[in-house]
Amino acid sequence: MKFAFSTLGVPGMPIADVVQLAADTGYQGVELRAHPEEPVHLSMGMRERAAVVREFERAGVEILTVCGYARVAAAEADGPVGEELDELLWLAKDLGAPQVRVFPGGGDQDPATADAIAARRLGAAAETAAGLGVRILLETHDSHRSGAAVSRVLGPVGHKNAGAIWDVLHPWLAGEAPATTHAALSPFLGYVQVKDVASADDLTPLPLGAGVLPLAECLATLTEETWLCWEYEKRWNPGVAELPGLLAPGREHLEGLIVRRDEK
């Protein structure tokens, strides 16, 4: 398996430092958070985009995904989601990133309504994505926490350029077993976001293996080609330990889980 980490864990860190950190700690990729407070964002110019590409190429580190905040299931009155999606796809294309992350964001709408809105938007955007060589990945999150909920959207879309990110926290919070989540998402799965927390009532991020999330059960369902990305939510929890010192032990913990899985 290949390992990546999210820049959500190193908020505001310059790209050159992010890339060097990945190379130094044995991570093959980085998930880039696209936000105005980060070095990578929708308004960055072509020179800035080209500079990011050079930094990653120099170190031989891959950009796994551009993580946007478009909410594809949001009510129609909530704004021009399609425009935001297009901008994210072009940003990914310019950076050479193969994937874009989006959220459901269906809110309190009737689930069937939210599903239909998300499927329509993703279906339209997937055509643009195909032309740019990018894939849109819908994360298990907020209104669509479980694998079953995300598959309700992606099944009707039926496009190879629309897939899923399995964030291991949210299906677990929804009470969905890892094997069930994998069965629902396997036709669409892009990669898996790993993390750890103390309990369902305390979601403060912890080092991998220090919490209660069923990481071994999740990894037991995956193939060797699957990317694992550590999403350590330092941005929302500034008081937790700094990520750089946790990265190598975290990767080693995942590698140990994989070895034990393969020995069974």
**pLDDT by residue (tens digit) across 200-226?**
999 999 999 999 999 999 999 999 999
> Among 69, 139, 124, 129, which residue's Cα sits nearest to residue 97?
129
Residue in this structure with the two tokens 């909530």, named with its chain if needed: 78
Q: Report pLDDT digits (tens) over 136-191.
A: 999 999 999 999 999 999 999 999 999 999 999 999 999 999 999 999 999 999 99
Predicted local distance difference test score (pLDDT) of residue 79: 64
Q: Which domain holds residue 216?
A: 2-263
Instruction: Collapse the DSSP code of 138 into the 3-class scheme (helix H, G, I; strand E, B; otherwise coil) and give the result.
Output: strand
Instruction: Collapse the DSSP code of 228 into the 3-class scheme (helix H, G, I; strand E, B; otherwise coil) and give the result.
Output: strand
Q: Report pLDDT digits (tens) over 112-136.
A: 999 999 999 999 999 999 999 999 9
**pLDDT greater than 90 at residue 10:** yes
Q: How many residues does the chain have?
A: 264
Predicted local distance difference test score (pLDDT) of residue 264: 75
- Within 7-161, strands assigned E span 29-33, 62-71, 99-103, 135-139
Predicted local distance difference test score (pLDDT) of residue 248: 98
CATH code of residue 70: 3.20.20.150
**pLDDT greater than 80 at residue 30:** yes
Tokens of 240: 């937790």
**pLDDT greater than 80 at residue 199:** yes
**pLDDT greater than 80 at residue 82:** yes
Number of domains making up the chain: 1
Tokens of 193: 């976001």
Q: What is the rounded distance in angstroms from the CA atom of residue 211 to the CA atom of residue 33? A: 24
Q: What is the rounded distance in angstroms from the CA atom of residue 93 to the CA atom of residue 128? A: 11
Q: Report pLDDT digits (tens) over 50-75.
A: 999 999 999 999 999 999 999 999 99
pTM above 0.95, yes or no: yes
From residue 261, alpha-carbon distances to 17, 36, 211, 215 in Å are: 33, 40, 19, 11
Predicted local distance difference test score (pLDDT) of residue 263: 86
> Among 15, 57, 59, 54, which residue's Cα sits nearest to residue 33?
15
Predicted local distance difference test score (pLDDT) of residue 78: 60
Instruction: Collapse the DSSP code of 136 into the 3-class scheme (helix H, G, I; strand E, B; otherwise coil) and give the result.
Output: strand
Mean pLDDT, residues 81-108 taken together: 96
Which of 178-182, 228-232, 260-264 is least confident?
260-264
Predicted local distance difference test score (pLDDT) of residue 80: 77
**pLDDT greater than 90 at residue 24:** yes
Predicted local distance difference test score (pLDDT) of residue 124: 94
**pLDDT greater than 70 at residue 77:** no
Confidence of residue 246 (pLDDT cuts 50, 70, 90): very high
